[in-house]
Amino acid sequence: MATELLNKGSYLEALAAYQEVVTYSDSYDSKAKELFYMGTIYSLYLDQYDMALKLYRKTMQEYPESRFAADALFNTGMVLYEKREFREAYNCFRSYLDKYPNGSHRESAEVWADSAKAEIDTKSPRVPRAPYRLKIDDTTLRVLINDRVSRLTFDTEGKIIIADPFPRKTTYMDVGPLNVTAQDNQVVVNGTRLGLPEFMVSANEGILGLDGRRYRGSFKVLAQDGNRLQPINYISLEHYLYGVVPREMPHKWPLDALKALAVAARTYALYIKRKEQE
């Protein structure tokens, strides 16, 4: 299951699946394997190198007899090399060669050890790259809730506000519920055609409800394909994390696991946000 999620690019869900095995499995090798895979997700897909190193170190310390301890040591060298910590990377690769002279990464470890040593010995060392940082001015995320539905119902404790996104002018404000349909690629609210292909929905107080479920933030609703609607939740990053972490992991799981997922969720969300801006 976790492998399928990983292949689909569902990295957070894959992390949660791997963590479940680590927490509940009685298998020594399975625990080692899942810890190693979690470290690989953090290093390859989420650029969380320190978290990856922590998980690789845990794999080696707690499961030294597992074959994944060797893989964790080799990958530690690779992560350190990527971070341009060449001396530490060299020591890792040499340690791998000493401990596992017939290991599956032997030839690669020799090459990377030589490369790391060359970087150490060079008379004109390269300027280290700055640590990985995401510079995102607007951390509002967009989450597609449903795709091409025929009807939506909004409600809230106060009043519901509808605004034309261009130029963000309020066109409707009243108590709910608010029934939304589409006709000829234009939105219809409580039977009244607004003459807009899309609009923003928010609440003047309280949390907005959509079809019986509560959502923080606001919504953009688009009319598409004649009589279909597409609701998109606009939500702050922190509020997004409030929803992701409890849903992906039971609260009884170890605190470190919850923290790790929160870090991964935040990193992945910002990564996607950056891709949108590019």
Most distant CA atoms of the chain, gap in Å: 76
Contact 164, 195 (CB under 8 A): no
Alpha-carbon gap, residue 264 to 180, rounded angstroms: 36
Mean pLDDT over 173-202 rounds to 87
Among 12-16, 95-99, 112-116, 161-165, which stretch is predicted with the lowest mean pLDDT? 12-16
Give the Cα-Cα-Cα angle 152, 158, 162 (nearest 5 degrees).
50
Mean pLDDT over 87-110 rounds to 91
Mean pLDDT over 11-32 rounds to 83
The contacts of residue 168 (CB under 8 Å, 6+ apart) are: 200
pLDDT digits (tens, 9 = 90+) for 231-242: 988 887 666 665
Give the pLDDT of residue 126.
Answer: 47
Residue 130 has pLDDT above 70, yes or no: no
Please give the mean pLDDT across all residues of the chain: 79
Residue 136 has pLDDT above 70, yes or no: no
Give the pLDDT of residue 158.
Answer: 86
Residue 166 has pLDDT above 50, yes or no: yes
**What pTM was computed for the model?**
0.47
Indicate the domain borders of the chain. Answer: 2-121, 134-278
The percentage of residues in the chain with a pLDDT greater than 70, rounded to a whole number, is: 73
User: Please, is 218 exposed, middle or buried when counting C-beta atoms within 10 Å of its C-beta (0-12, 13-18, 19+)?
Assistant: middle
Cα–Cα distances in angstroms (integers) from residue 122 to residues 77, 78, 117, 119, 126, in the given order: 19, 19, 9, 5, 9
Contact 19, 264 (CB under 8 A): no
247 compared with 237, residue with greater pLDDT:
237
Residue 228 has pLDDT above 70, yes or no: yes
Mean pLDDT over 131-156 rounds to 70
CATH class of 2-121: mainly alpha
Contact 51, 263 (CB under 8 A): yes
